[in-house]
C-alpha cells in the first residue's frame, strides 16, 4: 500500500530564512473568497448583536509580519521567525542552565526552519472487530511490572482494545511462583522507573531477573519458546537490552561488554515530548504491515540513547534491518538532531527487534497513543478521517500473529 500523507508538504515562502538554516514553509491558506465571506459573516453577527467591531488584521501565507499605523510601517522588514527567535531568547538562556548547552543551541538554531511533522500511513487503521472483543477465548498477555513501574494500566488498556486478554503480573509473582509465564503467549515489560532508576535505568529490575533463579527460569523459558512474543517499552526496553534479548535474540546474546544498551540522553535530562518516528521494514511481528509509516508518539525518558560499545554490532543491526523504529525530522527522515531526536541515538534508533521478529524493545510509548484522543496533534481534518489510532495496529498484530492470521 502506498503511503498516505497525513500532512501535506507545504510550499516555501519567499524572504529571509531568519538567520541560518533552510527557509521555513507556510501552511496553505484558505481561498481569499472564503476568508472574506467568513469575516463578513462574523462582522454581521457582531453588528446584529449591537457590538462594535473593527477588522484590525489578516493572516498571510508567507512569513512577513506587517504592522502599520496610519500608513506608517511599525515593523520594517518584520519576519515572524526572527520575532519568534527574539521572543524565545530568554527561555533558551534558561534552558542552558538545565540542559546540555550544545543541545539547546541546536534547538534554538533550528527553530526558524521547523515546519511541523509530516505523518504518513501505509495501512488503514481500524477498530478491533466486535466479534473479537466479545470472544471468551482471547490470547493471554502478561503485563509485567516491577516496583516503580507506572505504565501497566495504559498498556493493559491498549492490549484490551486490540482484543487481547491482559493480566497484571508483578515480578514478585514470578519469584514466589504465584504465576507462571507458561500460561501466556505474550509478555510486555512496561515503562516507568523500576527501583527509582537509582542504579541507572532498569538495572535493578535486570538484577532481579538475572540473579533470582525462579524469575530467571520463568523469563528464559518464556522468551525461548517459539510461540511467544515480548515487548519492552521505555524501562522495559532498557530491561530487554540489559538482559541481552535484543538485538539478536535470547539465544544468540552479545557478550556483556559489547551488549547494546540505552544510556543517558545527550541533553543530560529527562525528555518528555511528542516525537515523530518512522517505522522501518523489519522482521518485527508487532510492526507487520506498518513499514514506511511516519507517526507521532510519546517519548518520556532520561536514558534513551541507543549505545553500541562494539561498532560491529551496530553494523549487524543495520545489515539485518533490526532497527525497527527511528526518530525523524520534519521531512520524515531519520535524524540525530535535537529535539526531533530527544536522546541522541545513532541513526535515530528508537526500537530494536530480533531477527525472528518475536521480541521488540522500544523506547517511545505506543500504548500512550493507542486511542486517537491521546494524540495531541494531527493535521487539520485528518482526525475525522481515522477510524482508530494507527498505533492500535501494533497490538492487533500481536493478536493476529498468535492466532496464525496474516497481518
Catalytic residues: 234, 365, 367
Do 138 and 401 form a contact (C-beta atoms < 8 A)?
A: no
The distance of Cα 259 from the centroid of its chain, to the nearest Å, equals 24
List, in order, residues 6 or more apart from 335 with CB less than 8 Å away.
327, 328, 329, 341, 348
| Residue 72 β-bridge partners | 69
With H, G, I as helix, E, B as strand and everything else as coil, classify residue 168: strand
Contact in structure between 166 and 141 (CB atoms under 8 Å)? yes
C-alpha dihedral (202, 205, 207, 211), degrees to nearest 10: -160
The secondary element (H helix, E strand) that includes residue 241 is helix 235-242
Distances (CA, A) of 320 to 51, 246, 283: 67, 12, 9
Question: What are the phi and psi torsion angles at 194 (to 5°)?
Answer: -60, 130
Q: What are the grid coordinates assigned to 294, written together?
A: 511516519
Q: Are 302 and 126 in contact (CB under 8 A)?
A: no
Cβ burial 309-321 (10 Å sphere, 16+ → b, else e):
eeeebbebbeeee
Coil, helix or strand for 156? helix
Residue 37 zone, left/alpha/beta (φ > 0; ψ -120 to 50; rest): alpha
Looking at the DSSP bridge assignments, the partners of residue 262 are 306
Q: How far apart are CA 359 and CA 376, in angstroms?
A: 29
Angle at 393 between CA 388 and CA 394, to 5 degrees: 140
With vertex at residue 216, the alpha carbon angle to CA 213 and CA 220, rounded to the nearest 5 degrees, is 140
Amino acid at each position: 500500500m502506498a503511503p498516505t500523507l497525513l500532512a501535506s508538504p507545504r510550499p516555501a515562502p519567499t524572504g529571509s530564512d531568519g538567520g541560518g538554516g533552510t527557509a521555513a514553509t507556510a501552511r496553505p491558506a484558505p481561498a481569499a473568497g472564503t476568508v472574506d465571506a467568513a469575516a463578513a459573516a462574523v462582522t454581521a453577527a457582531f453588528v446584529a448583536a449591537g457590538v462594535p467591531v473593527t477588522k484590525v488584521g489578516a493572516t498571510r501565507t508567507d512569513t512577513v509580519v506587517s504592522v502599520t499605523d496610519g500608513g506608517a510601517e511599525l515593523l520594517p522588514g518584520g519576519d515572524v521567525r526572527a520575532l519568534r527567535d527574539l521572543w524565545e531568547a530568554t527561555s533558551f538562556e534558561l534552558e542552558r542552565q538545565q540542559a546540555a548547552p550544545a543541545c539547546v543551541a541546536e534547538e534554538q538554531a533550528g527553530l526558524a526552519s521547523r515546519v511541523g511533522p509530516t505523518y504518513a500511513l501505509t495501512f488503514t487503521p481500524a477498530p478491533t472487530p466486535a466479534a473479537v472483543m466479545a470472544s471468551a477465548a482471547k490470547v493471554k498477555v502478561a503485563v509485567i511490572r516491577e516496583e516503580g513501574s507506572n505504565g501497566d494500566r495504559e498498556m493493559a488498556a491498549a492490549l484490551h482494545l486490540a482484543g487481547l486478554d491482559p493480566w497484571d503480573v508483578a515480578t514478585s509473582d514470578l519469584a514466589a511462583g504465584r504465576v507462571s509465564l507458561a500460561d501466556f503467549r505474550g509478555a510486555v515489560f512496561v515503562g516507568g522507573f523500576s527501583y527509582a532508576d537509582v542504579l541507572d535505568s532498569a538495572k535493578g529490575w535486570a538484577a532481579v531477573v538475572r540473579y533470582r533463579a525462579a524469575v530467571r527460569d520463568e523469563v528464559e523459558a518464556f522468551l525461548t519458546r517459539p510461540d511467544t512474543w515480548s515487548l519492552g517499552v521505555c524501562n522495559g526496553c532498557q530491561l530487554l537490552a540489559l538482559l541481552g534479548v535484543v538485538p539478536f535474540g535470547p539465544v544468540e546474546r552479545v557478550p556483556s561488554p559489547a551488549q547494546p544498551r540505552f544510556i543517558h540522553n545527550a541533553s543530560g535530562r529527562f525528555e518528555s515530548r511528542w516525537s515523530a518516528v518512522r517505522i522501518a521494514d523489519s522482521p518485527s511481528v508487532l510492526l507487520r504491515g506498518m513499514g514506511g509509516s511516519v507517526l507521532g508518539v510519546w517519548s518520556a525518558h532520561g536514558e534513551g540513547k541507543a549505545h553500541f560499545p562494539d561498532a560491529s554490532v551496530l553494523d549487524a543491526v543495520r545489515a539485518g534491518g533490526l532497527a525497527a523504529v527511528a526518530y525523524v525530522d520534519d521531512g520524515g527522515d531519520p535524524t540525530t538532531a535535537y529535539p526531533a531526536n530527544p536522546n541522541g541515538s545513532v541513526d535515530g534508533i528508537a526500537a530494536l527487534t530480533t531477527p525472528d521478529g518475536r521480541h521488540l524493545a522500544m523506547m517511545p510509548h505506543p500504548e500512550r497513543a493507542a486511542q486517537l484522543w491521546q494524540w495531541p496533534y494531527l493535521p487539520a481534518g485528518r482526525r475525522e478521517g481515522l477510524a482508530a489510532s494507527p498505533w492500535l495496529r501494533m497490538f492487533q498484530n500481536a493478536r493476529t500473529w498468535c492466532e496464525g492470521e496474516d497481518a
